Amino acid sequence: MKRKIIASILVMSMVGSMLVGCGANGGKKQASNKNSITVLVESGSPAEALAKETAAEFKEETGCEVVVDAVAYTGMYDKLSTEIKAKQATHDVACMDVVWLAAFAGAIEPLKDADTSDFLPTLEESGTIDGNLLGYPMWVNSKILIYRKDLIPENKVPKTWEEYQKLSQELSTDEMYGTTVFGSGTDAVCSFLDFACQAGADGLVFDKEGNVNITDQAYVDALNFMVENANADYTPSDSLSTAATESQELFTNGKIAMQLNWSHQYPAAVEALGADKVGCAPMIAGSAGIGATTGPWYECVMKDSKNKEMAQKYVEFMYEHNEDYMDLTLKIAGRTSVYEEKGKEAGNEHTTAVLETLNSKQSQARPMVKTWPQIEEVLVGVVESTLGGADINETLESAKAEIEAIGK
């Protein structure tokens, strides 16, 4: 989901205005100090901004200082791995990408008696391993349809694969393509899994019995849909170089009429083009209906924390402040009530589209397995190979064997 999503979300002036206490050196302050907790966040992300913005309030309420350790996305996983293996609790709380939870499950303190009734759809499931809920959701993202509403009347907004392809063709001109195909990196994998959901996949990559299922017809249909669109004259010819960022740039530059992109791209597009030109709608539907895979983050208490009680209070405190994420650049959160209320405000229409998408029975989380990074690399190769002309069935058979060899 999502490394590109977080990469360029906050301007430096915002971050500078929210500084509280320490920055990158915060990790050196040990959690054994009962008057402080250390929180690992991704640098430049909404998590960093909100942690710094709320630190003074938490200290006022509890007397506990919040030390924010901001680390680049690419370094967060390694930093956690190192301290877990060394059994040294540098961090009391860690903000984690959902795809890391399986690898770190044994080092995370399960939440007890957490009220999950306000979690957005799919978030309790994707945050639970072996019956243990591992964290409070910070936000969730899914793809939705973002379109030029000055070109597409409401009664023509596509709802199905067929309508989407037909309208893409109709809107394509010498100056503008109808849409894009994500063929690059992890965004391509998420698109592949989105379409597999819509085509009827029952469990992503693995079925309910734990068997690799990517040779099922739903995955064949998903790749056929991607290949058809990539080869059509209504999409740019460089699909293998296109992901969320590139698609958004084409959209805001008036080069495409619609896109299936992460929901946070909607408010950014409105800011760039104006509310009169940008609309959004739920994800499109395949033969099994609307469906999408999700990209949530969770705030987790580390099991080796020496200040576990205060860390627990902190993650509960931050969950209570979940609405505040909507005031940051991405405008995404993790609570149903937040999305329902914020969706009533102009400029937040994407929250309503996400709610409908996530409430659809075919929307599913990616598999909670320790080997997801390796599996994801295999799936990147599947999309790139098939968009490059490789046989779909043969590619999926080969990928199935690779994933079975990797294991869970």
What CATH number is given to the structural domain containing 24? 3.40.190.10
**Residues near 53 by beta carbon (within 8 Å), at least 6 away in sequence:** 18, 20, 324
Report yes or no on 349 lying in a domain.
no
* Within-domain flag for 136: yes
- Taking the C-alpha atoms of residue 27 and residue 90, their distance in angstroms, rounded to an integer, is 6
**What average pLDDT does this structure show over 112-120?**
95
Q: In terms of domains, do 251 and 323 share one? A: no
40 plus 109 within the same structural domain: yes
Distance from C-alpha of 181 to C-alpha of 179, rounded to nearest angstrom = 7
Q: Is 132 left (phi over 0), alpha (psi -120 to 50) or beta?
A: beta
Domain total of the chain = 2
- 128 and 94 share a domain? yes
Q: Are 231 and 378 in the same domain?
A: yes
pLDDT of 8 reads 40
Per-residue confidence (pLDDT) for residue 54, from 0 to 100: 98
pLDDT digits (tens, 9 = 90+) for 236-254: 999 999 999 999 999 999 9
315, 334, 353 - which closes a domain: 334
- Size of the chain in residues: 408
Residues 268-319: pLDDT tens digits?
999 999 999 999 999 999 999 999 999 899 999 999 999 999 999 999 999 9
Residue 227 pLDDT exceeds 60: yes
pLDDT score at 88: 80
Q: Are residues 104 and 194 in the same domain?
A: no
Average pLDDT over residues 42-62: 97
Per-residue pLDDT tens over the stretch 353-386:
999 999 999 999 999 999 999 999 999 999 999 9
Range of the domain at 27: 3-140+296-334
Question: Would you say residue 100 lies in a domain?
Answer: yes
Within a domain: 40 = yes
Phi then psi dihedrals of residue 147, to 5 deg = -145, 160
Residue 356 lies in a domain: no
pLDDT at 21 over 50: no
Instruction: Give yes or no: residues 282 and 310 share one domain.
Output: no
Q: Tokens representing 118?
A: 């306000």
Asked if residue 175 is part of any domain, the answer here is yes
Does residue 24 carry a pLDDT above 70?
Answer: no
Instruction: Enter the tokens of residue 211.
Output: 């068997």
Same domain, 244 and 386: yes
Residue 198 sits in the same domain as residue 255: yes
Looking at 334, 350, 385, which one is the last position of a domain? 334
Model confidence at 33, in pLDDT bands (50, 70, 90)? low
Same domain, 246 and 393: yes
- Pair (253, 304) in one structural domain: no
User: Is residue 340, in this structure, part of any structural domain at all?
Assistant: no
What HEC string does the chain produce? CCHHHHHCCCCHHHHHHCCCCCCHHHHHCCCCCCCEEEEEEECCCHHHHHHHHHHHHHHHHHCCEEEEEEECHHHHHHHHHHHHHHCCCCCCEEEEEHHHHHHHHHHECCCCCCCCCCECCCHHHHCEECCEECCEEEECCCEEEEEECCCCCHHHCCCEHHHHHHHHHHHCCCCCECCCCCCCHHHHHHHHHHHHHHHCCCCCCECCCCCECCCCHHHHHHHHHHHHHHHCCCCCCCHHHCCHHHHHHHHHCCCECEEEEECCHHHHHHHHHCCCCEEEECCCEECCEECCECCCEEEEEECCCCCHHHHHHHHHHHHHCHHHHHHCCCCCCCEHHHHHHHCCCCCCHHHHHHHHHHCCCCCECCCCCCCHHHHHHHHHHHHHHHHCCCCHHHHHHHHHHHHHHHCC
Under 8 Å between Cβ of 303 and 110: no
pLDDT tens string 152-205: 999 999 999 999 999 999 999 999 999 999 999 999 999 999 999 999 999 999
Looking at the structure, tell me whether residues 104 and 233 fall in a common domain: no
Residue 288 within any structural domain of the chain: yes
Query: Do 69 and 132 share a domain, yes or no?
Result: yes
